[in-house]
């Protein structure tokens, strides 16, 4: 899932379930973090 914040900065309403979407994105980020730790790689995550 990808959210483009510039869509919402322009004044559009978010029509999703924020809590559920946030949980899904946090889980995805955790998987990326674990994958990089296991493979001994570095990553840059930009918010």
> Where do the structural domains in the chain lie, given as residue ranges?
1-10+19-47
Within 8 A by CB and 6+ apart from 39, the residues are none
State how far the Cα of 15 lies from the Cα of 43, in Å rounded to an integer. 31
- 1-47 pLDDT tens trace: 677 777 777 777 778 888 898 899 899 889 888 888 888 887 777 77
- State residue 19's pLDDT score: 87
- State residue 27's pLDDT score: 92
0.85 exceeded by pTM:
no
- State residue 1's pLDDT score: 64
Is residue 32 a contact partner of residue 43, using CB atoms and an 8 Å limit? Answer: yes
State how far the Cα of 32 lies from the Cα of 27, in Å rounded to an integer. 9
H-helix or E-strand spanning residue 14: none
């Amino acid at each position: 899932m990808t959210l483009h914040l510039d869509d919402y900065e322009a004044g559009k309403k978010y029509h999703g379930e924020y809590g559920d979407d946030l949980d899904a994105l946090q889980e995805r980020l955790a998987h990326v973090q674990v994958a990089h730790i296991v493979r001994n790689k570095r990553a840059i995550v930009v918010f």
